Amino acid sequence: MTPAGTDLEPTAQPVTGTDWHAYPKPIWRTSPKHWPDFWRRSIQARIVTGTLLMSAVVVFLVGWVMMSQVTDGVLESRRETAHAEAAAQVNRAQAELNAGDAPAAMEAVSQLVSNSNGGTFKAVVVPIDSVSSSTQATWVSSGVDPESVPQVLRSSVIADPSKLFDTYTTLKYQDGSTEPALVVGTQLRMESTNERFQMYLLFSLTPQAEVLGVVQRALLTAGLLLVLLLGAVAWLVTRQVVTPVRMARRIAERLAAGRLEERMQVRGTDDLARLAVSFNKMASNLQQQIRRLEELSRLQRRFVSDVSHELRTPLTTVRMAADLLHEAKDDFDPVSRRSVELMQNELNRFEALLADLLEISRFDAGAAALDLEDVDLRDIVARVLENHETLLARKGAEMLLDMPRPCRAQVDSRRIERILRNLIGNAIEHSEGRPIRITTASDEDAAAVAVRDHGIGFRAEEADLVFSRFWRADPARARTTGGTGLGLSIALEDARLHGGRLDAWGSPGEGAYFRLTLPRRPGVPLIGSPLPTRPPDASRVVPDINLVEVGSPYQKLTGDRGGAE
pLDDT in tens, 465-481: 666 666 665 554 444 44
Considering the chain, tell me which residue range(s) the CATH 3.30.450 domain(s) occupy: 102-206
Range of weakest confidence among 31-35, 265-269, 399-403, 441-445: 31-35
In the chain, count H helices and then E strands: 11, 12
Higher pLDDT, 214 or 506: 214
pLDDT beyond 50 at 20: no
Partners of 447 in the β-ladder: 442, 518
Helix (H) or strand (E) holding 558: none
Residue 364: the pLDDT is 65
Residue 470: the pLDDT is 66
Q: Is the pTM of this model over 0.85?
A: no
For residue 26, the 8-state DSSP code is P
Query: How high is the mean pLDDT of the chain?
Result: 77
User: How much of the chain exceeds pLDDT 70, in percent?
Assistant: 77
Considering the chain, tell me which residue range(s) the CATH 3.30.565.10 domain(s) occupy: 370-546
Tell me the C-alpha distance between 23 and 108, whole Å: 84
pLDDT beyond 90 at 450: yes
Residue 466: the pLDDT is 66
Tell me the C-alpha distance between 458 and 473, whole Å: 9
CATH class of 370-546: alpha beta
Helix (H) or strand (E) holding 196: strand 195-204
Tell me the C-alpha distance between 87 and 93, whole Å: 10
For residue 144, the 8-state DSSP code is B
pLDDT beyond 80 at 515: yes
What one-character-per-residue DSSP string does 42-98 give? -HHHHHHHHHHHHHHHHHHHHHHHHHHHHHHHHHHHHHHHHHHHHHHHHHHHHHHHH
Tell me the C-alpha distance between 565 and 563, whole Å: 6
Tell me the C-alpha distance between 462 and 100, whole Å: 117
**Burial class of residue 13 (count of CB atoms within 10 Å of its CB; 0-12, 13-18, 19+):** exposed
Confidence of residue 30 (pLDDT cuts 50, 70, 90): low
CATH class of 102-206: alpha beta
Confidence of residue 68 (pLDDT cuts 50, 70, 90): very high
User: How much of the chain exceeds pLDDT 90, in percent?
Assistant: 15
Range of weakest confidence among 29-33, 258-262, 273-277, 296-300: 29-33
Q: Is the dihedral of CA 70, 72, 78, 84 positive or negative?
A: negative
Residue 391: the pLDDT is 85
Tell me the C-alpha distance between 335 and 341, whole Å: 10
Q: Which of 401, 490, 380, 500 is nearest to 445 (CA)?
A: 500
Confidence of residue 343 (pLDDT cuts 50, 70, 90): confident
User: Mean of the pLDDT values across residues 130-142?
Assistant: 60
Confidence of residue 536 (pLDDT cuts 50, 70, 90): confident
Measured over all CA atoms, what is the biggest interatomic distance in the chain, rounded to whole angstroms?
165
- Between helix 206-256 and helix 271-327 the angle, nearest 10°, is 30
Range of weakest confidence among 68-77, 324-333, 381-390: 324-333
Contact 239, 44 (CB under 8 A): yes
pLDDT beyond 80 at 297: no
pLDDT beyond 90 at 495: no
- Between helix 377-387 and helix 413-429 the angle, nearest 10°, is 50
pLDDT beyond 50 at 554: no
Residue 117: the pLDDT is 63
What one-character-per-residue DSSP string does 156-188 give? HHHH-TTS-EEEEEEEEBTTS-EEEEEEEEEEE
Confidence of residue 547 (pLDDT cuts 50, 70, 90): very low
Residue 217: the pLDDT is 92
Contact 209, 215 (CB under 8 A): no
Contact 530, 435 (CB under 8 A): no
Range of weakest confidence among 41-45, 168-172, 500-504, 547-551: 547-551
Tell me the C-alpha distance between 170 and 161, whole Å: 24
Q: Which of 353, 358, 436, 443 is nearest to 406 (CA)?
A: 443
pLDDT beyond 70 at 330: yes
Upper half-sphere CA count for residue 282 (Cβ side, 13 Å)? 11
Give the strand order in the sheet containing 511-519: 399-402, 436-442, 446-453, 511-519, 501-507
